[in-house]
Amino acid sequence: MIVTRTVAEFRAARDELLAGGQTAREGLGLVPTMGYLHEGHRSLMRRARAECSAVAVTIFVNPTQFGPNDDFTRYPRDEARDLEACAAEGVDLVLAPSIEEIYPEGACTTVSVGPLSRVLEGAARPGHFDGVATVVTKLFAIAGPCRGYFGQKDAQQLMVIRRLARDLVLPVDVVGCPIIREPDGLAMSSRNVYLSPEERSQALGISRGLRQAEAAWVDGVRDADSLRALVRSEIEAQPLARPEYVSLADTETLEELAGLAGPGALLSVAVRFAGTRLIDNVVLGG
């Protein structure tokens, strides 16, 4: 596995890796991450490994997707452990750049993905998806992959990136991968390390609430308000949990559903535990 720090190093290593075989546009799978890698990230690497002749991972805590009150400086980092995880998954190439490499002095172009990026996470974290869209566009431009792998854990982010790729006619297939959970149901997240033992145990109310609503939907409950209320009451039963939103929205537009929820509706939540903000979701009907 080759670890690179600059765009030039990355491209040289990529071209050498693919020399004589496919081009990046034909054979490179890209897995963008912010590091502190866990099984969720590793599932993306495995999927890329199975589908692509070469796999590249980026490790970059992207400052532009954090707001002034977000956790950029305290975001967990452990590059040595991350590199071990990448090597264990058979990754060929890693790009772990400095902030200046990705945002050189004077860089002023940003990518903004319209209404999809202004609701839910975008409303709670103004500018967040502009940061995401900008960095993902740059990472696609740097690597030139045929496929980019992203988790359904960040469902809205996945939608924003799909729209970005479509609108800008980027020659990349955006591949969505299922949410990986801890055995007790908590969605894996780099931010779970912030949780105290008590918060960690109360955070289970999130996946429990989503599961209960999903089961109710399977049993025939279709009323959007009732399904949202089910999730909310399970979360609010946890004294340390502060739900920011409980949304049941159209999968294409992310507009809140007013009446009945059909298959494919996205049930998603953001919940605060003191300084830690967790998100999770389920797609009704699978």
Interface with ligand AMP by CB under 6 A: which residues?
A: 33-34, 40-41, 43-44, 150-151, 153-154, 177, 179-180, 187-190
Cα dist. 54→37, 62, 75, 161 in Å? 19, 24, 29, 22
Residue 174 makes CB contacts below 8 A (sequence gap 6+) with 147, 148, 150, 158, 161, 162, 165
Q: Within the chain, how many helices (H) and strands (E) appear?
A: 11, 9
CB of 164 to ligand AMP, least distance (A): 13
CA neighbours closer than 13 Å in the CB half-sphere of residue 43: 16
Q: Among residues 18 and 161, whose Cβ is nearest to ligand AMP?
A: 161
- Report the alpha-carbon distance of residue 219 to residue 286 in Å, rounded: 14
CB of 124 to ligand AMP, least distance (A): 16
Beta-sheet pairing, 173-177 with 54-59: unpaired
What is the chain's length? 286
Q: How many CB atoms lie within 10 A of CB 2?
A: 16
CB of 52 to ligand AMP, least distance (A): 16
Q: Among residues 18 and 61, whose Cβ is nearest to ligand AMP?
A: 61
Q: Among residues 44 and 230, whose Cβ is nearest to ligand AMP?
A: 44
Catalytic residue among 14, 41, 49, 208, which? 41
DSSP 132-183: HHHHHHHHHHHH--SEEEEEGGGHHHHHHHHHHHHHTT-S-EEEEEPPPB-T
Q: Is 41 a catalytic residue?
A: yes
CB of 176 to ligand AMP, least distance (A): 9
Outline where the chain has alpha helix (H).
7-18, 24-27, 39-51, 79-88, 99-102, 121-124, 128-143, 155-167, 197-202, 204-218, 224-236
Q: Among residues 174 and 257, whose Cβ is nearest to ligand AMP?
A: 174
CB of 65 to ligand AMP, least distance (A): 9
Q: Among residues 4 and 33, whose Cβ is nearest to ligand AMP?
A: 33
Residues belonging to the active site = 41
